[in-house]
Structure 1
Amino acid sequence: MHRRIHRFIQGAVPLALVGAVLAAPQPASAAITDLVGWGTQNGGTTGGGSAATTTVTSASALTTAVGSTSAAVIRVSGTISCSGMLRVRSNKTIIGNSGAAIVGCGLNINGDRNVIIRNLTFRNWNDDAINVQESATNIWVDHNTFSNGYDGAVDIKRGSDFITVSWNRVFSHDKSMLLGHSDSNASQDVGHLRVTYHHNWFDASTQRHPRVRFGNPVHVYNNYYNSNSGYGVASTEGAGVLVEANSFENVDDPFHLGEGSSDAGTLVARNNLLVNSGSGQTGGSVASIPYSYTPDAPANVKSIVTANAGAGRISV
């Protein structure tokens, strides 16, 4: 694909203003600890809330804690090495202490609800790092770091809904974030798969940032994309994706319709900053966003996201 060498903000900001905006970076419009987006809907996402806190330091203790049917706040301490997928039940907050890592395995939310996963480093997982499926609802994946895994960093599928994925960093990894696993799953997925992706740092990761089927509206805003060799966002199979106020740098293919054998969805791009990047492909309309939010200026997204995304950037 031909690379377009340019710098412009798409949709709303005149070219003459870009330099002035770039010269005055501002702090994030919302606090980096705030829950914003689809995870606030359907009663909100509170995780374990004020339930008792358990600190885990081993794979067996983590497996037991996340698999309990009781509400809990689970603190992960140190590096936990494991394999496969650990089942996470409803009403859990799983949060890493400083430097906490889960290595070799992933977390599977399978039909449960109200789960928060924050401040963890995932690496070398042998399936997915986080898998959300079977109509799981009200999930918040926030301030985690993902690298060198086998399959998806955060995959959401099979009718899951009301989810926010925020302030994460993905690097040294291929398939980042899949939304909707199959072209043939419309009967379960249509009307669901409503996800907000905001302030994530897709740091030279390859593709699926996200790759979307069926969900409408899916909201992708204020993310920083740099040097993604595959593509940024793909809308397929009737999905409706709003790509808003993101920063793309050195990305030949920032967003497009259709992917692989999947038919096109719709995609509206608004107020994105494209630096040394392609112009992207848009088409159709997207359902309205039902929640309140205030996007950061796209010219400030790079500095805000690189300073705050990933594990270790919040006080726990």
Structure 2
Amino acid sequence: MRRRLTPALALALAAALAAPAPAAADDLGRRVLPEGDGWAWAGGGTTGGADATDENVFRVSTAAGFREAIAGDEPKIVYVDGLIDANTAADGSPLSCDDYAVDGYTREAYLAAYDPEVWGWEDPSGPLEEARAASQDVQAEHIRYRVGSNTTIVGVGDGTELTGMNLLVHNVENVILRNLTFSDAHDCFPGWDPGDGGSGNWNSEYDQIEVSGSRNVWIDHNTFDDGDRPGAEQPEYFGRRYEVHDGLLDIVRASDLVTVSWNHFEGRDKALLLGNSDGRTTDRGHLRVTWHHNHFDGLGQRAPRVRYGQVHVYNNLYTVSGDLYQYSLGAGFESQLYVENNLFDLRDGHTTDALLYNWGGTDMVGTGNGVMTDGRGRVTGVDLVAEHNAAHPDDPLGTELTWVPQYDTGVQPVHALRGLERKTGAGLL
């Protein structure tokens, strides 16, 4: 199902994308993945709750209503209206980190107890570490929400937001998530790991969305951000940033046949992960994911980082900026990345040799990719693998072609991606 656009067709498509036609909420809920639109088209396609009966169509505006509506495996459509905050009690009243703390946990006591100058460089243990873990469990009960199979969740209007929520797409199939803002799924109780990275790190739970053991999932026209807790503004303890966020979107544990399209991913350090362990050999033959027409905006790393899967990354815009930046594409263990016609907008002095990093990969195909500087000037071609290998001669990647993508909706020329940031994210369906 491979289609290449002629210059005339590319211009026509760009013109159409510049002014997307509005759609009624009811129409959005019944829409299915278009024919051939990435890996989620394989295996029978992705229809979500399009076949839902009238009694299984819900419009929700509270956390309790949302939790109830998304449960179960019967076909259903859930329209989300307005802002839903997962950090709320059953009666709708707001909950703070202090409300989740149990067994005497306070951040101040934890910092005092496990300061390496006091505790040393051993893993935290004892009553305060146990209290931290117990407090984390209390928060998890409130902010983790599980989606059933055969579900479409769609935002109504421009102001729909799921804040503080860890949305789990676990061991299900046929799910569509569209026109939503996922913001600030923060962990009130990060744990200190003195052995992480050689100098220790703070680690937290809760991705905005975690797709685990699931298949045929379409994630489209959503916005992902840190809300009022941007990572770059977090304090440092023990010489490391106090990280309260995990990933924006993780696709793990043999998940398969996923399309991620037209989303805006903003400002996260460790953003997008496919496959969470080199040793998870059950991921072989799975983790087939397509990423297209997304805006990766000021991300620090993992856009995406890939293990095992056959992953097609095409026609995305990368705004490479900020102090968090380390790399964009991560070629991990047994990864099969096919990176095609993406545009990298280099800012803040960042250079092409950092766009790709080898995390134990062997080969990667990169074709038709381009760079520009500060959103201006002409687009010039870039050979991602050659740039990486020149900068890392002791850890090179090959370019063996091990597979060819079968599913796309037409790969545009890279210069047509200028201005893509105005077409991605929630509110632009």
TM-score range, shorter chain: 0.7 to 0.9
Amino acid at match of 2:356: H
User: For 2:250 and 2:402, how far apart are their aligned partners in 1?
Assistant: 22
Counterpart check, 1:268 vs 2:365: yes
Question: 1:226: which partner in 2?
Answer: 319
Secondary structure of 1:159's aligned partner = coil
TM-score for both structures, normalised by structure 2: 0.63
User: For 2:424 and 2:148, how far apart are their aligned partners in 1?
Assistant: 26
| Structure 2 gaps, min length 5 | 1-6, 21-30, 88-142, 187-205, 228-244, 374-379, 386-396
User: For 1:163 and 1:264, how far apart are their aligned partners in 2?
Assistant: 21
Shift, 1:246, TM fit: 0.4
Change (3 A) 1:193 1:88: same
Question: 2:181: which partner in 1?
Answer: 121
Structure ID, larger Rg: 2
Contact 2:149 2:174 in 1 (8 A): yes
Amino acid at match of 2:319: N
Contact 1:222 1:298 in 2 (8 A): yes
User: For 2:40 and 2:15, how far apart are their aligned partners in 1?
Assistant: 18
Give the counterpart of 1:137 among 212, 215, 225. 215
User: For 1:184 and 1:29, how far apart are their aligned partners in 2?
Assistant: 46
Contact 1:233 1:254 in 2 (8 A): no
Counterpart check, 1:88 vs 2:177: no
Question: 1:245: which partner in 2?
Answer: 341
User: For 1:94 and 1:254, how far apart are their aligned partners in 2?
Assistant: 36
Question: 1:69: which partner in 2?
Answer: 73
1:240-271: per-residue Cα shift (whole Å, max 9, x none)? 10110000011535643523xxx124211100
User: For 1:81 and 1:73, how far apart are their aligned partners in 2?
Assistant: 20
- The structure showing larger relative contact order (alpha-carbon pairs under 8 Å, at least 6 residues apart) is 1
User: For 2:43 and 2:171, how far apart are their aligned partners in 1?
Assistant: 15
Question: 1:44: which partner in 2?
Answer: 45
Contact 1:143 1:313 in 2 (8 A): yes
Contact 2:327 2:357 in 1 (8 A): no
- Report the aligned-residue RMSD: 2.2
Shift, 1:292, TM fit: 4.6
Change (3 A) 1:198 1:219: same
User: For 1:201 and 1:286, how far apart are their aligned partners in 2?
Assistant: 27
Where is the strand percentage greater, Structure 1 or Structure 2? 1
TM-score for both structures, normalised by structure 1: 0.84
Shift, 1:293, TM fit: 3.4
Q: How does 1:76-225 map to 2 (within 5 A)?
A: 76-83=80-87, 84-98=143-157, 99-126=159-186, 127-134=206-213, 136-148=214-226, 150-186=245-281, 188-216=282-310, 218-225=311-318
Give the counterpart of 2:413 among 252, 277, 297. 297
Contact 2:258 2:288 in 1 (8 A): yes
Contact 2:212 2:251 in 1 (8 A): yes
Shift, 1:167, TM fit: 0.4
When the two structures are aligned, how many residues end up with a matched partner? 285
1:128-156: per-residue Cα shift (whole Å, max 9, x none)? 1111002x000000000011171111110
1:45-98: per-residue Cα shift (whole Å, max 9, x none)? 000013132001111111111112321000001100004321101000000011
Identity of aligned residues (%): 37
Contact 1:29 1:295 in 2 (8 A): no
Secondary structure of 1:90's aligned partner = coil
